[in-house]
Amino acid sequence: MTTVDDAPAGVAATAGVTENEARGRAAELRRIRAQVHAGPSERATAAQKAKGKLTARERIDLLLDEGSFNEVEPLRRHRATGFGLEARKPYTDGVITGWGTVHGRTVFLYAHDFRIFGGALGEAHAYKIHKIMDKAIAAGAPLVSLNDGAGARIQEGVAALAGYGGIFQRNTRASGVIPQISVMLGPCAGGAAYSPALTDFVFMVRETSQMFITGPDVVKAVTGEEITQNGLGGADVHAETSGVCHFAYDDEVTCLEEVRYLLSMLPQNNRENPPAVTAEDPADRGGDVLLDLVPADGNRPYDMRRVIEEIVDDGEYLEVHERWATNLLCSLARFDGHVVGIIANQPQSMAGVLDIEASEKGARFVQMCDAFNIPIVTLLDVPGFLPGVDQEHGGIIRHGAKLLYAYCNATVPRISVVLRKAYGGAYIVMDSQSIGADLTYAWPTNEIAVMGAEGAANVIFRRDIAAAEDPEAKRTEMVKQYKAELMHPYYAAERGLVDDVIDPADTRQTLIRSLAMLRTKHADLPARKHGNPPQ
């Protein structure tokens, strides 16, 4: 038997351990790793499957490129005692952490394993998450959290709460530095919901994932209201009503595929540009269909999504917050292979007006694009801000100012295109030249004015109309006069408020050429710790 003392030169051996003992320990390590990968028990796995959910490792395999996952601290165990914890010390402590690749680019992640303590967070569990978050920030790579946990581990008391505090602090430190994506694949209650709320994007799966601060039992005890978990904080609620969820899907496989697609359109960090691809869609492709797609009559609705499909590469785009604040569209797409953020009024919903929710949605999207070097294209067809007591009392001034602030603060290339109407303060807020748009274009169907011609004529010519023998005929005459003098399509161009009036069919190639010119844009903000945006 060869020992470390008489081993030949170049033969590795562990001090005090024979070759056979080393092989035995390696075999022991393999058995432990197999146990770690298998999870706590077949019963726990069966229970997870019975809920229609995948295991944490199955989710990781779907998210990452095949064979790319590198796990960190798989052998970690908690050191808590009391309440029976000293007898239950499973490996991983209920969270799997590590890094891998998505489309060949590094991504860090952590995934709650609901089979272990219901995915509840304890001290060791939190430390693992803190460590992987720190590594993601240091490496400058996206962080994805696969959430399926029951909140703080009650048996560990304040140590668990402190663990959440460390996560929130790192979420904030990473904000605008690396992309952060939260994927909700199970329950998320109490303070645990605030980490996803601090990240850039939230994905949810219908029926299996929920988010709420206080659950249905507490709601019933305090208010007397009865509601289900999904009714209180399910995917559809947060996708349509609260706006907490950016993307909602019917199953985990589709959800994780879309996370991969989103990552393919984001840079690794705020020091890089989004990944460009070779475009097969010709940059000079015409768009004659746009001439018939958008009615010249400003009162007739149309689907702005069809405009977006016509001008972007291959008609492909990823819409963010598709079902919330539907009067404003926010999408990621490519022009000539380069990623661009598109913000557009949707005439098919509430005539495309801006309201409280649309303002918040747009502001958040503009800030995300600006943080990660994504140029912004704004498509305008906006009749103004939504009037009403509810809007005024709800703070439309404050919320509308969020969108205004976000645009004014953005230093990425910004191009706006006025398709039809652009009235009043909404025109200014939607990235007009006066608030810093680099280039502004207009279609020959544009109407840029303080308000619509009918409303303007009623204000300006009210005495003439009232004194006329035929007030209605006089009103019609004054409306035509106002349109002819102040709302013709070249009025803004004559005054330098738009850079050019373009043929709608040339929109795609005009945007591509303009974005190419602006690709080297550099802008400095005044020295300051940070701004104080409206809240």
**Catalytic residues, which ones?**
190-191, 425-426
- Please report, in angstroms and rounded to a whole number, the separation of the first and last CA atoms in the chain: 74
Cβ atoms of 154 and 117 within 8 Å: the answer is no
3: phi > 0 → left, psi -120 to 50 → alpha, else beta; which? beta
Query: What angle do helix axes 304-311 and 507-518 make, rounded to 10 degrees?
Result: 60
Coil, strand, or helix at residue 482?
A: helix
Gap between the Cα atoms of 49 and 43, Å rounded = 10
Structure-block tokens of residue 477: 């005459």
Cβ atoms of 429 and 400 within 8 Å: the answer is yes
Q: Taking the alpha carbons of 345, 349, 354, 360 in that order, is the dihedral positive or negative?
A: negative
| Burial environment of residue 85 by CB neighbours within 10 A (0 to 12, 13 to 18, 19 or more) | middle
Cβ atoms of 58 and 39 within 8 Å: the answer is no
Gap between the Cα atoms of 189 and 186, Å rounded = 10
Across-strand partners of 100?
Answer: 107
Q: Residue holding tokens 């800030």? A: 367
- H helix intervals, 51-193: 56-63, 123-139, 158-174
Gap between the Cα atoms of 250 and 238, Å rounded = 14
Gap between the Cα atoms of 394 and 403, Å rounded = 16
Farthest-apart Cα atoms in the chain, separation:
120
CA proximity to 313, closest of 381, 358, 377 = 377
Cβ atoms of 360 and 402 within 8 Å: the answer is yes
Gap between the Cα atoms of 93 and 77, Å rounded = 5
Structure-block tokens of residue 29: 């390590």
Cβ atoms of 156 and 122 within 8 Å: the answer is yes
* Residues whose CB falls within 8 Å of the CB of residue 221, separated by 6 or more in sequence, listed in order: none
- H helix intervals, 442-531: 453-460, 462-467, 471-486, 491-494, 507-518
Structure-block tokens of residue 80: 């808590």
* Residues whose CB falls within 8 Å of the CB of residue 315, separated by 6 or more in sequence, listed in order: 309
Structure-block tokens of residue 405: 């602030």
Q: Spell out where 177-245 has E strands.
A: 180-184, 187-189, 201-205, 210-212
Question: Strands 247-249 and 210-212, how do they pair?
Answer: unpaired
